[in-house]
Amino acid sequence: MVIRNERSGQRKQDAIIMAPELLILLGAAGILQADLLPDKKFLLLPPVNFTIKAVNLAQVLLRWEPNPDQEQSNVQLGYHVKINAPQEEEYETRNTERSLVTILHKGFSASVQTVPWSDHSLQASSWVSAELKAPPGSPGTEIVNLTCTTNTKADNYTHFQPYQVSLHCTWLVGKDAPDDTQYFLYYRYRSRIEECQEYSKDVLQRNVACWFPRTFINSKGRDSLAVYVNGSSKEAAIKPFDQLFALHAIGKDDQKPWTEWFLIAVMMTICFILLIFSLICRICHLWTKLFPPVPVPKSNINDFFVIINNEKTGSSETEVISYVEEAGFETLEDSVF
């Protein structure tokens, strides 16, 4: 019994001695494991509820929401948006929605992912995508070769819009469009949408051109002009078509009234300044000082014609001798009575 008690006591002492070493080893193992495992708070999750919605002619709204399972951290988050169709484009933003002006007859698709806004050493999230399908319609029935021009003229009847901008568009009928196809054109400028009321027709009475004598377009604006053409037929579904135009590229403007008034004002100002300057010079006798008369050289010719006039008055006789210089020279006259 004594031997067993001594062994038990020795074990307890050894365990007490080894306890700190075991704690140190366990702590080191925990630290090593923590270093090997990824830090979950920096794991970026993709956005949710990503949608693409057509909100107007040739205009879409992209919208998404932050992932609700994303852990809070000191890392500022942003979003990387990639436009896949109809034309590739990429941008980064901290907002959760974006309005884009684009053609839609070919459809529209985009992707978005969560990215660190400042610390680019962190890995971005996976992508989420959304798509807006192309509008239905039979291939080859949409219009082709759409061209539009604007014409700007001065409008003296309103102060709010001093220019009258007209719009003229022409197109060709789709190669597979039925004979009974009828096209209808709309334009959108900013938030204004107008439907054409004046059409030109081909031999089959199909609309092939449109005329807006007066529009809401600002010829000096930078916004794009969106033109949309759809159609109807009893034989086939007509595929719509849209196109964007830059106003400066469709370049037919008359002379602007502000240009005319500016030239007139400049000319009047110059004339007024010259008139005032002339009056001041005459009043202050500066004209002769600024522009002295050019002296005429005297003649050295001494040839004179002698004209003798005999005049008899009563009993007295008067003889007049005149010395007259040729034309252009001085005249000397001497009379003898």
240 and 133 Cβ atoms separated by less than 8 Å: no
Distance CA 185, CA 171 (A): 10
Q: In this predicted structure, what is the pLDDT of residue 139?
A: 95
- Strand-pair category, 199-201 with 192-195: unpaired
**Six token digits for residue 222:** 């930078």
Quick one: DSSP state of residue 297?
A: P
Distance from C-alpha of 282 to C-alpha of 20, rounded to nearest angstrom: 115
What's the pTM value of the predicted model, to 2 decimals? 0.63
The token duo for 23 is 């704690």
**Residue 229 DSSP symbol:** E
CA 217 from chain centre, in angstroms, equals: 14
pLDDT computed for residue 113 by the predictor: 97
Calpha distance 41→6 (Å, rounded): 53
- Span 270-313, pLDDT tens digits: 888 888 887 877 777 666 666 676 766 655 555 444 444 444 44
Output the pLDDT for position 158: 57
* Model pLDDT for residues 190-246, shown as the tens digit of each residue: 999 999 999 999 999 999 999 999 998 887 778 899 999 999 999 999 999 999 999
Under 8 Å between Cβ of 173 and 208:
yes
* Virtual torsion, Cα 9, 14, 17, 20, nearest 10 deg: -120
Q: Report the C-alpha gap between 271 and 288 in whole angstroms.
A: 22
User: What does the alpha-carbon distance between residue 280 and residue 287 come to, in Å, rounded to a whole number?
Assistant: 9
Total number of residues shown for the chain: 337
Q: What is the C-alpha separation between 248 and 241, in angstroms, rounded?
A: 22
Closest CA to 128 of 106, 102, 96, 101: 96
Question: How are strands ordered across the β-sheet holding 108-116?
Answer: 89-93, 77-85, 108-116, 128-132
pLDDT at 220: 76
Distance CA 176, CA 143 (A): 10
What averages of pLDDT result for each successive group of 10 residues across the chain (337 residues)?
51 58 59 46 88 96 95 88 95 96 97 91 93 96 96 69 86 96 97 96 96 88 92 97 89 59 82 84 68 64 48 46 44 39
pLDDT at position 71 is: 85
The radius of gyration of the chain from alpha carbons, rounded to an integer in Å, stands at 49
Opening angle at CA 268, ends 263 and 270, nearest 5: 95
User: H helices within the chain, ranges in order?
Assistant: 2-36, 257-283, 287-290
Write down the residue that tokens 């220019």 correspond to. 163
